[in-house]
Structure 1
Amino acid sequence: MSHADPTSPGFPTPPMHELPNAREAVRALRSSQIREVANAGFGVPDVLPFWFGESDRVTPPFIREAAAEALGRGDTFYTHNLGIAPLREVLARYVSGLHGATAADNVAVTSAGVNALMLAAQLVTGAGDRAVAVTPLWPNLVEIPKILGATVETVPLVYGERGWALDLERLLATLTPGTKLLMINSPNNPTGWVMTRDEQRAVLDHCRRHGIWIVADEVYERLYYADDYAGEDDATGRTAPSFLDLASRDERLICVNSFSKAWLMTGWRLGWMVAPRALMDDLGKLVEYNTSCTPSFVQQAGIAAVEHGEPFTRALVADLRASRDHLAAALARLPGVDVKVPHGAMYLFFRLPGAQNSLELCKALVRDAGLGLAPGSAFGPEGEGFVRWCYACDPARLDAGVERLAGYLAARAGR
């Protein structure tokens, strides 16, 4: 019996509409422009990369050692879908200390914060549902509901003399009856905007009235630069305002967090969510069908981070505040740069001459100046005209980047 050779000239080529493709909802997703810029930097010598949202420092030794010890014990087997009990209990105590009483039954461990966002959306929204997102925004939050067949309407932050602010009335008007889900990120990536307690209260009350789920991405909550620390043992000032401060644990609220930022564990892919107990059995099913569980030795590292990491996190936040102020002052001295100092996260999101096409500008900065920034358009059309600079690195490295940017702008102005 002979078989046709698909590589031979005589093998029929199927019509375009019959070619194997992903489903339309997936094909319509926007690709990462940050990755596009980073890919343009491959092969370019001595690029200074400030495009990704991570520090240039490695995970602290006490966390790495906990993982190594767990591996040495042979901690390599499957665990409970929702996470090992010791980590869920440690996280419950941690969240309780920041935001009020939280039980381990309200906590689930996930394979990264982004996995928690996907699971949260899968729990409460699906095809034909309507979701709302506040933008500019890390694109994952806007695209995740679309993967599930939902539609997403965006409400833009407003940029002014004091930086980015929420148009609360516009957001409330957009959260109409029948809306299934609000996706909101504060402190915000990319802008550093921080939602106020009063804004959270108004949004929470409105969503309660209309039965709207809130998925709050609070992974940057510890990277918060309040000027009114209430005391070493008080949560005020140690964390940004959270919906958990206002809501009971069994409302239509899912708060997502991650080990990536406060403990420099980006590559570990470890996160968690706080959610109503009524969701947990169904969440366990979704985890089973997504990842089954988070690696046990990674969870042991998470326990070490939470139990012993508070001094490290406080020192990290102090360093980030200093880096933020240092970079903002340096950028403000450059002609044509419009930069405002944000209250949270680890980015400056600023206007730059030529950023009306921020993707092409960022590619040119890589090519001509060896400087890697993230284009504002990566975070939605509201971000066009801006670029994002992650300042989680040594000030000398920031200075080198500013010098390259200044040289690029001067050369461009002289053309």
Structure 2
Amino acid sequence: MSESDLPVPSVPNAREAVRALRPSQIREVANAGFGVADVLPFWFGESDRVTPAFIRDAASAALAAGATFYTHNLGIAPLREALAGYVSELHGATSPDHVAVTSAGVNALMLAAQLVVGAGDRVVAVTPLWPNLVEIPKILGAHVDTVALGYGEQGWQLDIEQLLAALTPETTMLLINSPNNPTGWVMSRDEQRTVLAHCRRHGIWIVADEVYERLYYPDADAHPAAGSKPSRTAPSFLDLAGRDERVICVNSFSKAWLMTGWRLGWIVAPAALMDDLGKLVEYNTSCAPAFVQQAGITAVEQGESFTQALVHDLRASRDHLVRALSTVPGVDVKAPPGAMYLFFSMPGASSSLELCKAMVREVGLGVAPGSAFGPQGEGFLRWCYACDTARLDAGVERLQRFLTQHG
């Protein structure tokens, strides 16, 4: 048999569940900005400030001391203890036995899903939502149904009855991200209480992505009453649920301490899950880097004043950008109570991906398309305001210029 008679091999492909995953439209817009001079990028969810020096110095010292070896799968004991103390202060008594360290918050979300979801399971997610949360269960072969927030005069709101109706006894897991990326919506304590009671009745796991919990700006805190203290954190399922219930809370060092590139997160979960979680960490990443974990200890133990100052600055930036955008004809924007984004509508946003690409090409303004966060986000754009007000003003000027050119 000659070579010409041999069968032509088929094109190698990933399995269908992976091929069906949504690509990141945020990255697609960012890619459109390559080669464009002087782009103002507001598309990614991170501050334009570097990690504070006291955390960077702690990592440098740990490296100098030789913290370059493998650690326990669930994290070094001092960091788990520090995190347990931090969570206890914010949300009530938490043991290190309920805490696991992960290689980033997104890794924590994947591990949480791997713990409780398998092929054929049903997952419910509240949207619009950062796409990773919706796509992760699909990688595992699960089916994801969505319940959309509604937008009106009060901003983004949840129809609690609609969510409860979706949480049938056949549901394995509920995904909640509050404060929410991209909308800034925050689930109220009463809503959490109602959902927790419903999930208890039906044995549904709650996986709560609470990475933005410290970036919280309730209206009452703008002018606190005499003698009162501003809220340090958004409402959390950890405030209501026992530590050994079907509740897994995911968090990250990325937002409260500006450690996006460090890839360090944590999970609070029932102690009974920890041995199995340790296996999953082993088969995913083995452990988070030792010197990064040492820096994490410093962040938790010494970073409170920094975090509070950061939240103060972010509130000011949010209010500044809301005022500026409100002067632009056709823009509809509301000040959200949490996270670091404005999710707003404007002319042309019904095709948000093409609109964002056009703004990058024509005026060098980079924001994220609402469609990146699911079909419920179409018609809106996401603008990360974690930067100084002069930069925000420059962005608004470019937005006005774009709208004038297309008027």
Q: TM-score, normalised by structure 1?
A: 0.95
The aligned residue for residue 313 of structure 2 is: 319
> Does the 8 A contact of 1:47 with 1:370 survive in 2?
yes
> Does the 8 A contact of 1:227 with 1:237 survive in 2?
no
Deviates more, 1:236-245 or 1:81-90: 236-245
Q: 2:115 pairs with 123, 129, 150, which one?
A: 123
Cα separation, 2, equivalents of 1:237 and 1:13: 67
Deviates more, 1:227-236 or 1:122-131: 227-236
Q: 2:84 pairs with 86, 92, 98, which one?
A: 92
Cα separation, 2, equivalents of 1:31 and 1:410: 32
Q: 2:56 pairs with 51, 57, 64, which one?
A: 64
What is the Cα deviation at residue 234 of structure 1? Answer: 8.8
% identity of equivalent residues: 78
Q: Secondary structure at the match of 1:180?
A: strand
Instruction: Quickly say closer, same or farther: Cα 1:94–1:33, change in 2 above 3 A.
Output: same
Deviations 1:265-310 (A, max 9, x none): 0000000010000000000000000000000000001000000000
- Structure 2 residue 280 is matched with structure 1 residue 291: no
The aligned residue for residue 110 of structure 1 is: 102
Q: Secondary structure at the match of 1:216?
A: strand
What is the Cα deviation at residue 75 of structure 1? Answer: 0.5
Deviations 1:172-208 (A, max 9, x none): 0000001000011000000000000000000000000
Cα separation, 1, equivalents of 2:267 and 2:184: 21
The aligned residue for residue 136 of structure 2 is: 144
> Does the 8 A contact of 2:206 with 2:248 survive in 1?
yes
Q: 1:163 pairs with 149, 155, 158, which one?
A: 155
The aligned residue for residue 273 of structure 1 is: 267
Q: TM-score, normalised by structure 2?
A: 0.97
What is the Cα deviation at residue 109 of structure 1? Answer: 0.2
Aligned pairs for 1:220-235 (under 5 A) are 220-229=212-221
Instruction: Quickly say closer, same or farther: Cα 1:82–1:11, change in 2 above 3 A.
Output: farther
Structure 2: which amino acid aligns with 1:174?
Answer: A
Q: 1:187 pairs with 166, 179, 193, which one?
A: 179
Deviates more, 1:350-359 or 1:219-228: 219-228
Structure 2: which amino acid aligns with 1:278?
Answer: A
Cα separation, 1, equivalents of 2:359 and 2:219: 35
Structure 2: which amino acid aligns with 1:308?
Answer: Q
Cα separation, 2, equivalents of 1:284 and 1:266: 23
The aligned residue for residue 361 of structure 2 is: 367
- Structure 2 residue 328 is matched with structure 1 residue 334: yes
- Structure 2 residue 20 is matched with structure 1 residue 25: no
Cα separation, 2, equivalents of 1:319 and 1:235: 17
Cα separation, 2, equivalents of 1:14 and 1:385: 46
The aligned residue for residue 396 of structure 1 is: 390
Instruction: Quickly say closer, same or farther: Cα 1:14–1:244, change in 2 above 3 A.
Output: same
> Does the 8 A contact of 1:117 with 1:141 survive in 2?
yes
Cα separation, 2, equivalents of 1:37 and 1:340: 24
Q: Secondary structure at the match of 1:244?
A: helix
Q: Secondary structure at the match of 1:214?
A: strand
> Does the 8 A contact of 1:228 with 1:237 survive in 2?
no
The aligned residue for residue 252 of structure 2 is: 258
> Does the 8 A contact of 2:219 with 2:337 survive in 1?
no
Cα separation, 1, equivalents of 2:390 and 2:370: 25
Structure 2: which amino acid aligns with 1:373?
Answer: V
What is the Cα deviation at residue 235 of structure 1? Answer: 8.2
What is the Cα deviation at residue 14 of structure 1? Answer: 2.9
Cα separation, 2, equivalents of 1:371 and 1:187: 26
The aligned residue for residue 47 of structure 2 is: 55
Cα separation, 1, equivalents of 2:371 and 2:299: 34
Instruction: Quickly say closer, same or farther: Cα 1:235–1:30, change in 2 above 3 A.
Output: farther
Q: 1:135 pairs with 116, 119, 127, which one?
A: 127
Q: Secondary structure at the match of 2:118?
A: coil
The aligned residue for residue 73 of structure 1 is: 65
What is the Cα deviation at residue 228 of structure 1? Answer: 3.6
What is the Cα deviation at residue 19 of structure 1? Answer: 1.5
> Does the 8 A contact of 1:116 with 1:272 survive in 2?
yes
Instruction: Quickly say closer, same or farther: Cα 1:62–1:13, change in 2 above 3 A.
Output: farther
Structure 1: which amino acid aligns with 2:129?
Answer: L
Instruction: Quickly say closer, same or farther: Cα 1:227–1:252, change in 2 above 3 A.
Output: same
- Structure 2 residue 238 is matched with structure 1 residue 244: yes
The aligned residue for residue 44 of structure 1 is: 36
Cα separation, 1, equivalents of 2:5 and 2:300: 60
The aligned residue for residue 302 of structure 1 is: 296
Structure 2: which amino acid aligns with 1:291?
Answer: T
Cα separation, 1, equivalents of 2:230 and 2:205: 26
Structure 2: which amino acid aligns with 1:84?
Answer: I
The aligned residue for residue 347 of structure 2 is: 353
Structure 2: which amino acid aligns with 1:34?
Answer: I
Instruction: Quickly say closer, same or farther: Cα 1:62–1:152, change in 2 above 3 A.
Output: same
Instruction: Quickly say closer, same or farther: Cα 1:309–1:233, change in 2 above 3 A.
Output: farther
Structure 2: which amino acid aligns with 1:310?
Answer: E
Query: Tell me, which stretches of 5 or more residues in structure 2 are unaligned?
Result: none
The aligned residue for residue 282 of structure 1 is: 276
